[in-house]
Structure 1
Amino acid sequence: MKKISEDPSHPSNVPVIFIYGHNGEITGKISINEWRAKKEEAQLINELEIKLYRESIQYYTNREFSKSEDLLLFLITQTDYTHYEYVERLANLYRRQEKSSKEKELLLKARKNIAAFDASEGILKRIDKRLEKNATASSKDRRHSYLLN
């Protein structure tokens, strides 16, 4: 028997993955090679995010807050304020530096962007709790500054 050799360079011999839309219809297709390349790229981006986050924590523990803030702001903007771990770390940094207005602004932006997801109710409750703490801390600070003047 003669073995049939397949030519993988021929377009009809390359396996494809169908991309489905929200209503279940096929919106496109992508070759397995393209899918692997995209997956690898996403994995590299994820690894970079992890390295940058670890570096920001290192700066935070070494009390180099400006460097930590810069890295966290970069990560937060890259993830469009939807990765709450980064937001929470930066909010802690702002609270530690007594920058309550920046903390509030950060939490409000994160709340707005995270609210778009259905499965984020627990995170929204945490943000609301932090915003309440921020509001009570701000009002206490205003009362103390009034008494000092």
Structure 2
Amino acid sequence: MKKISEDPSHPSNVPVIFIYDQAGEISGKISINEWRTKKEEAQLLNELEIKLYRESIQYYTNREFAKAEDILLFLISQTDYTHYEYVERLANLYRRQEKTSKEKELLLKARKNIAAFDTSEALIKRIDNRLEKNAIFTKKSPIFHIY
């Protein structure tokens, strides 16, 4: 019996994956090899994000706030303010340093970008609660009286 070998380099022998848009229409297609490459790249980026986030937490616990802030700002900009865990950690850092205006600005940007998603009601409520606490904290900020 002779084994039939397929030539994967031939375009008709390479499996494809159809890409659909939000309306359910086919917007394109990619080969399985391209999909695997993109998946590997995405996994490497995800691993890099995790490592950077862990490093920022390490800086945060060591009270090296400037380094932690830099890493968190990078991660937030990479995720376009949609990864709330990064936003919340940076907001905590700003609160700890009593930079309430930066905290408020960060939360408002995150709220705006997260609001674009339909399934983000809980996150928006969480941001709103935090913004209310920020407003209360700002009003009750310590004022030193000299008696």
Give TM-score, length-normalised by structure 2: 0.95
Partner SS state of residue 141, structure 2:
helix
The alignment yields a C-alpha RMSD, in angstroms, of 1.2
Q: Considering fraction of residues, name the structure with more helix.
A: 1
Which position in structure 2 is the counterpart of 1:124?
A: 124
1:2 counterpart residue number: 2
For residue 2 of structure 1, give the secondary structure of its aligned residue in structure 2.
Answer: coil
1:62-102 CA-to-partner distances (Å, cap 9, x unmatched) read: 00000000000000000000000000000000000000000
Q: In structure 1, list runs of 5 or more residues that go unmatched.
A: none
Count of residue pairs the alignment pairs up: 146
Distance, in Å, in 2 between the alignment partners of 1:23 and 1:94 is 41
Aligned-pair distance for 1:140? 1.4
Deviates more, 1:18-27 or 1:42-51: 18-27
| AA matched with 2:50 | I
1:15 is aligned to: 15
- Alpha-carbon distance in 2 for matches of 1:137, 1:3: 75
Structure 2 Cα separation of the partners of residues 49 and 62 of structure 1: 20
- 2:86 aligned partner: 86
Q: What residue identity is the alignment partner of 2:2?
A: K
Structure 2: how far apart are the matches of 1:40 and 1:60? 30
SS of the residue corresponding to residue 28 of structure 1 reads strand
Give the residue type in structure 2 aligned to 1:53. Y
Matches within 5 A, 1:55-74: 55-74=55-74
Instruction: Report what 1:42 is aligned to.
Output: 42
Q: Distance in 1 between matches of 2:119 and 2:48?
A: 26
Runs of 4+ in 1 over 2 A off after TM superposition: none
Give runs of aligned pairs for residues 128-147 of structure 1, distance below 5 A. 128-141=128-141, 144=143
> Which residue number corresponds to residue 98 of structure 2?
98
The Cα of 1:2 is off from its aligned counterpart by: 2.6
* Inter-partner Cα distance in structure 2 for 1:26 and 1:74: 34
Structure 2 residue ranges without an equivalent (≥5) = none
TM-superposed CA distance for 1:3, in Å, is: 2.2
TM-score by length of 1: 0.94
